[in-house]
Structure 1
Amino acid sequence: MNAIDMKNTLLSLLLLIGCIHCKAQEKPNIVLLFADDAGYADFGFQGSKEMKTPNLDKLAKQSLRFTQAYVTDPTCGPSRAGLMTGRYQQRFGFEENNVPGFMSPVSAKDGPAMGLPVNETTIADYLKKRGYSTAFYGKWHLGGEDKFHPMKRGFDEFYGFRGGARDYFPYEKEPKEKLNKLEKGFGNFEEHNGYLTDELAKEALAFIDRSHKKGTPFFAFLSFNAVHTPMDATKEDLEQFPNLEGNRKIVAAMTLALDRAAGKIIDRLEELGIAENTLVVFTNDNGGPTDKNASINLPLSGTKSNYLEGGIRVPFLMKWPGKIKPNSTYDKPISTMDLLPTFYAAAGGNANELKNIDGVDLLPFLTGKSQKVPHETLFWKKDARGTIRKGNWKLLRFPDRPAKLFNIEEDPKELNDLAAQRPEIVKALYKELFQWESSLLRPRWLLRKSFEKDDIDRMDAYWPLQSN
């Protein structure tokens, strides 16, 4: 090869490398802002006159707002498991929160080891394959043992806590629940300075800066513990709500901090000039608990932990400049388990190639390429309680009383039970719900201090013993 040929070959290689780098830059950054236990009505963009959420209200005007967005469960851990895998979490037995007091009946080897099964592929796993830097901040709640750690589940960086609820201010002594200690990376436990909601945003900002400097697309998952109990707020934030009292005043202050943290992330994207190439989602893990933190889910009935709309329908915003119409709404049912295939498709992947997921890529529906409904049917289940929504019909099955039937389109507040009037619909939905349940793995853990052999035998009869 002569000198000219070598020069041309080198030039071609440099151009090829440049094109690869260029294509990598074309992939959108992805930011997921995830609240905890927030009330459906507790944001300005959702109609609240009490809460102060200027940053999220601004984001709402730049976003598409979903009016019928659902979670896969009305409690923290299972909801996160569904989002993280794009699957109904009951398919791998993650049916209850993994908290002290719950134990596994499946086998002796499982013992108290409760978490997202290690053979489940996470949203971070998929995005890493697409060349993304990935980071998780805040509340994990998907398993406390080392094998369940975020940095072993597809995330490059972690700053937060493995458990389900912790103080917002630094612990002055060892907390009762060890999983709620603050951790940076893997095994580096050290308490923060200041207020945790602000600190999570600070760490995420540093990750965004580093990723931008490297020129790599990034996925930042900010899993705020706000506004979950304990009811902790700063004096300065509390002073912004002189007309409120008790927990309502505190949750308003906590929401203000959440909004401030989200605003810092959104502003940094603008400052770095990457907002136009960043997909931003804001949503919540389940309905607000109207007792513990005085959340408001109106006009919906229900609360955290039940299957009325107030327990499973959540605020949901999605912004992607040039791809999704801003200041618009989408009124068909969607689910947080749709985030995995949607993010994967946004990252240049083919969502149709994803195996064993229940979520769908929302982009064809949001851009008008598909006029179909993302989900004709959605399911929820915990123990003997089960719920199915098919079209506008929603059936709630209880273990101790007759089922209820509602037409969600005509009666979103679920005030008019039509079960007695439409027995044929009740029967059909009961059958479909049971068929779905028969495909599930039995729960990996239940709230029991001990298990007798007869208990295990009865569970074996209902849920076939499967290895997962």
Structure 2
Amino acid sequence: MKQTKFLGILTICLFTFYVNSISAKKTNIVFLFADDAGYHDFGFQGSKTFESPNLDKLAKEGMVFKQAYTTAAVCGPSRAGLLTGRYQQRFGIEENNVPGYMSHSSKLLADEMGLPLDEKTIADYLGPLGYKSIILGKWHLGNADKYHPIARGFDEFYGFRGGARSFFPLTQKLAFDRKEDRWERGYANFEEPDRYTTDAIGDEACDFIERHKNKPFFVYASFNAVHTPLEALPEDLAKVKGLSGKRKKLAAMNIAMDRACGKIMDKLKELGLEENTLIVFSNDNGGPDGSMTCNYPLSGCKSNHLEGGIRVPMVMKFPNVIKAGSTYDYPVSMLDMLPTFVNAAGGNADAITNIDGVDLMPYVTKQNKARPHEVLFWKKENRGVVRQGDWKLLRYPDRPAELYNLAKDVTESNNLAYKHPEKVKELFKVLWEWEGELERPLWLLKRVYEVNAMERMDVKRTPVLD
């Protein structure tokens, strides 16, 4: 009897050791995601006025992507595409779920605007592979409880459900009337952070990594920096030289976000996890015009489909796999994060039949020298975009289509539609065929006068360097 009991205990111990040893070999995944950052507003992107030493270091130790794209020109839809690996239009999300666009009587309807419950997220796929996952910061994929991150595959949540809020603790009662603005730990445990929220995100990410250092983890640091409101710490503002007004506040907010990213990277190094961690940094859409971001050398900004609205900074670091100090020139998409992460975690992304992204590892390691995507699409209401190779067609509801060759004209200054009518016709057909696969939009912003003018007009704004 004692021998049987001993053998049983021994079996459990060996199994636990086996599981832990397998877990220790799995790749940890850290995804650092900025909000509304300017394409040029980082040192590794060429800025001389915005300080980002930690992200610059990440760029030197990893790979910088020259043509990384988000799936939408605004926050919510781009996050839906990112987390599902699918064009969000396939399940009806084309517009932000912004309660402010709804009347008070329609508030319930606004809360029901979220990521459809039958869509799986990155966290849903990583959980069965033994991963613990956390999202920190901005969610913006549904305010109702059924859309909560804890119900969408994440084990932990430290952030807020909405799309924007103050970077300082909320104290006014009026602020607490909007549940989506309140800071939350886990599910329905509302507690305002005792410090600047960007710093809180960095600190909590480090705490999560410390607690899960012996098991594989997925950290999704979804910063609300540098989205409005433009609020910065006095000590960060004091570090900014040669800038004023909104640009100064933006630069100070950028300093805080870079500091938080640095804390996370330092924690990985401190715990000896750096060599076994895949780190990606990117941004949710192009920098907006109103907060004075700089998208140089791209035309356009957040909310339109010119390059300045959809092309984003991106860095990927994976020691001993990705060559340090390298660049990748072909177009990639945030759709690619899900299959890349699933395969890095030991899963099989090829078995997921309904995604549009691809695993980037064979491409960035040059095992596959082809383009990850020959064709990419964007759509919002009756505006549509297709990029095939280096040709990009933009379809508008109120004027003729535009055609650009991005290999020769990244600023989209030379419209070639009249010189190449056959190419326009060809790309229209490609776009229409894709649109035939999509669901009808789940919601639209009805009141046109409330929609940002930049969104309606696709204004060609090429920012001036500081």
Calculate the TM-score normalised by the size of structure 2: 0.91
Post-superposition Cα deviations, 1:207-241, rounded to whole Å, max 9, x if no partner, equal: 111001xx110001000000000010011000111
Q: Tell me the SS of whatever aligns to 1:264.
A: helix
Q: Indicate whether 1:172 and 2:171 are aligned.
A: yes
Letter in 2 for 1:179: E
Find the counterpart in structure 2 of residue 149 from structure 1: 148
Q: Indicate whether 1:379 and 2:377 are aligned.
A: yes
Find the counterpart in structure 2 of residue 413 from structure 1: 411
Superposition deviation, residue 16 in structure 1: 4.8
Q: Indicate whether 1:293 and 2:294 are aligned.
A: no
Find the counterpart in structure 1 of residue 243 from structure 2: 244
Query: Do 1:136 and 1:159's aligned partners in 2 also have CA atoms closer than 8 Å?
Result: yes
Superposition deviation, residue 311 in structure 1: 0.6
Cα distance in 1 between the residues matched to 2:110 and 2:261: 39
Query: Do 2:97 and 2:110's aligned partners in 1 also have CA atoms closer than 8 Å?
Result: no
Q: Tell me the SS of whatever aligns to 1:434.
A: helix
Find the counterpart in structure 1 of residue 460 from structure 2: none
4+ residue runs of structure 1 moved beyond 6 angstroms? 5-10
Query: Do 1:79 and 1:285's aligned partners in 2 also have CA atoms closer than 8 Å?
Result: yes
Identity over the aligned pairs, expressed in percent? 57
Superposition deviation, residue 54 in structure 1: 0.5
Q: Indicate whether 1:125 and 2:124 are aligned.
A: yes
Cα distance in 2 between the residues matched to 1:192 and 1:8: 49
Cα distance in 1 between the residues matched to 2:369 and 2:16: 40
Superposition deviation, residue 111 in structure 1: 7.5
Find the counterpart in structure 2 of residue 423 from structure 1: 421
Cα distance in 1 between the residues matched to 2:152 and 2:62: 30
Query: Do 1:101 and 1:448's aligned partners in 2 also have CA atoms closer than 8 Å?
Result: no
Cα distance in 2 between the residues matched to 1:265 and 1:412: 34
Find the counterpart in structure 2 of residue 394 from structure 1: 392
Query: Do 1:101 and 1:447's aligned partners in 2 also have CA atoms closer than 8 Å?
Result: no
Q: Tell me the SS of whatever aligns to 2:29.
A: strand
Query: Do 1:101 and 1:449's aligned partners in 2 also have CA atoms closer than 8 Å?
Result: no
Superposition deviation, residue 92 in structure 1: 0.4
Q: Tell me the SS of whatever aligns to 1:198.
A: helix
Cα distance in 2 between the residues matched to 1:383 and 1:404: 17
Find the counterpart in structure 1 of residue 215 from structure 2: 216
Letter in 2 for 1:136: I
Alignment length (residue pairs):
442
Letter in 2 for 1:121: K
Change (3 A) 1:387 1:331: same
Superposition deviation, residue 172 in structure 1: 1.4
Post-superposition Cα deviations, 1:412-453, rounded to whole Å, max 9, x if no partner, equal: 111110000000000010011011111100110011269xxx
Moved more, 171-180 or 333-342: 171-180
Cα distance in 2 between the residues matched to 1:17 and 1:237: 47
Cα distance in 2 between the residues matched to 1:334 and 1:243: 35
Cα distance in 2 between the residues matched to 1:2 and 1:185: 44
Q: Tell me the SS of whatever aligns to 1:205.
A: helix
Letter in 2 for 1:318: M
Superposition deviation, residue 7 in structure 1: 7.6
Unaligned runs of 5+ in 2: 449-466
Query: Do 2:375 and 2:387's aligned partners in 1 also have CA atoms closer than 8 Å?
Result: yes
Find the counterpart in structure 1 of residue 457 from structure 2: none
Letter in 2 for 1:157: E
Q: Indicate whether 1:337 and 2:335 are aligned.
A: yes
Q: Tell me the SS of whatever aligns to 2:279.
A: strand
Superposition deviation, residue 17 in structure 1: 4.0
CA RMSD of the aligned region, Å?
Answer: 2.0
Letter in 1 for 2:275: E
Superposition deviation, residue 18 in structure 1: 2.4
Find the counterpart in structure 2 of residue 447 from structure 1: 445
Find the counterpart in structure 1 of residue 73 from structure 2: 74
Find the counterpart in structure 2 of residue 181 from structure 1: 182
Moved more, 367-376 or 64-73: 367-376
Cα distance in 2 between the residues matched to 1:217 and 1:144: 29
Change (3 A) 1:2 1:256: closer
